[in-house]
Amino acid sequence: MKTPRMITRHQWFALGVLAILAALGGMARTIAQAPPLARTHYAVTVYSEPRRTSAIVGVLAPRAEVALEARGADAAWVLGRSVDGAARGWIESRFLDTGAADLRALPVSGERIYDPGAVLDPAVQTIDLNAYPLVPAISDRARAIYARGQALGLNPRAVSKIGDCISDNRHFLSPFGWGEYNLGSFTALQPVIDHFAESLAADSLAAYDGLVTAAALDPLFANPLACLPGETPLRCEYRVRRSSFAIIMFGAQDLLFASPDEFDRNLRQIVHETIEAGVVPILSTFPGNLHRWDDTLALNRIVVQIARDYDIPLMNLWRALDGLPNHGLEDDGRHLSPPVTHSGDLTGENLRRGYPLRNLVSLQALDAVWRAVRG
């Protein structure tokens, strides 16, 4: 039997050099595998799947750089993410300047970026709306969303209003941006008003009369004077406002036009896109419709379930209004009751009216979320 030969010091040195060179070679290969880049010619819609009928999950600005990750089977679609982190999803490759990139060399993928979930679980209708507080509890999820939004450069002093005519109204928060208010005993809200004053009175690009969840996700309903081609009202509002927070309330119009399944699917996509944009969603239950009260309760339970599923702040406006005359609604049974004096007056009999009470609860919710996430 041969005696094992001892390795000399010089041989150990040579082996060490070879190991270093091998490691450097591996690093070089890793660097070479960085994803290829493409660039948009103009604003391009980003989809959840490689087909135009899938959910819209973003819009890329003109001349945006896109890191290519994968392709569909025929390379007509590519899976990519914007270099600035604003959007990730499926893009039609014909709308991209791919330069020298070989799309056929990309791995084939069938990833679905956004999954609206299965058919609505009937157990949702067992939710007790009175079991949830008016002002939301704050979780680590909200803090993480806020931190990501700040990393993306969002404005910490901006809040967006997302919803229908009840949110697109001079009564909702605007008086506090105009300086036309009386806090009465709620002077502790002055700091949050000061912080968000400019955006409180701003006109939202994703809140107007008749807007339903489906329309908020449809480029057809975007303002052409402010929004990019192919941009949805929701995405347009977030791009223009650069808001860090959004008060989202839908339902009063949806119960007239959408099934519970459709409402659930659409509102989930709105919440999903809000989170992906780095915006902290404050999801609100809605006042309702006295002529469709069972539908009101059904859709509000869906709102609660979505807030639970995504672990995001929930503002229970329905509960706050439930004890008011007419549930806080006008005689038409659909719109919030107007103030006795003005909507920024949070004193006396005004707090027995729909709009002033909504303003109070909204400011309290925004204050609670803002204070929690910034710490």
Task: Indicate whether 251 pLDDT > 60.
Answer: yes
Q: Are residues 190 and 245 in the same domain?
A: yes
Average pLDDT, integer, range 69-94? 90
In the chain, alpha helices (H): 9-32, 140-151, 174-178, 190-200, 213-216, 233-241, 254-257, 260-276, 293-310, 317-322, 354-374
**pLDDT band (50, 70, 90) for residue 4:** very low
Confidence (pLDDT) at 349: 95
Tens-place pLDDT, residues 302-346: 999 999 999 999 999 999 999 899 999 998 888 899 999 999 999
**pLDDT band (50, 70, 90) for residue 32:** very low
Task: Indicate whether 132 pLDDT > 70.
Answer: yes
Q: Are residues 49 and 156 in the same domain?
A: no
Q: Are residues 170 and 319 in the same domain?
A: yes
Q: Are residues 177 and 220 in the same domain?
A: yes
Summary mean pLDDT of the chain: 88
**pLDDT band (50, 70, 90) for residue 63:** confident
At position 271, the amino acid (one-letter code) is V
**pLDDT band (50, 70, 90) for residue 118:** low
Q: Report the CATH number that the domain containing residue 51 is assigned in CATH.
A: 2.30.30.40
Q: Are residues 43 and 142 in the same domain?
A: no
Q: Are residues 212 and 354 in the same domain?
A: yes
**pLDDT band (50, 70, 90) for residue 28:** very low
Alpha-carbon distance 67 to 78, whole Å?
Answer: 10
Tens-place pLDDT, residues 154-211: 999 999 999 998 898 889 999 999 999 999 999 999 999 999 999 999 999 999 888 9
- Give the total number of structural domains in the chain: 2
Q: Are residues 58 and 177 in the same domain?
A: no
Q: Are residues 89 and 131 in the same domain?
A: no
Has residue 349 been placed in a domain?
A: yes
Torsion sign, CA atoms 180, 186, 188, 189: negative
Least confident interval from 47-56, 243-252, 348-357 = 47-56
Q: Are residues 54 and 186 in the same domain?
A: no
At position 298, the amino acid (one-letter code) is A
Has residue 129 been placed in a domain?
A: yes
How far, CA to CA in Å, does 316 sit from each of 117, 282, 370?
24, 10, 17
Cβ atoms of residues 343 and 356 within 8 Å = yes
Alpha-carbon distance 193 to 186, whole Å?
Answer: 11
Give the domain-ending residue among 78, 105, 132.
105
Cα–Cα–Cα angle for 55, 57, 63, rounded to 5 degrees: 130
Confidence (pLDDT) at 1: 46
Alpha-carbon distance 314 to 283, whole Å?
Answer: 5
Confidence (pLDDT) at 311: 93
**Token pair 């993410």 in the structure block, residue:** 81
Q: Kindly state the DSSP code that residue 338 receives in the 8-state scheme.
A: P
Task: Indicate whether 89 pLDDT > 70.
Answer: yes
Has residue 172 been placed in a domain?
A: yes
Burial of 252 (0-12, 13-18, 19+ CB in 10 A): buried
Which two tokens mark 83? Answer: 């270099």
More confident residue, 73 or 113: 73
Task: Indicate whether 20 pLDDT > 70.
Answer: no
- Domain hosting residue 345, numbered range: 122-374
Confidence (pLDDT) at 239: 94
Least confident interval from 24-33, 101-110, 130-139, 261-270 = 24-33
Has residue 82 been placed in a domain?
A: yes
Q: Are residues 210 and 280 in the same domain?
A: yes
For 19, residues 6+ apart whose C-beta sits below 8 A from its C-beta are none
For 324, residues 6+ apart whose C-beta sits below 8 A from its C-beta are 337, 352, 353, 354, 357
Q: Are residues 289 and 370 in the same domain?
A: yes
Q: Are residues 133 and 213 in the same domain?
A: yes
Q: Report the CATH number that the domain containing residue 289 is assigned in CATH.
A: 3.40.50.1110
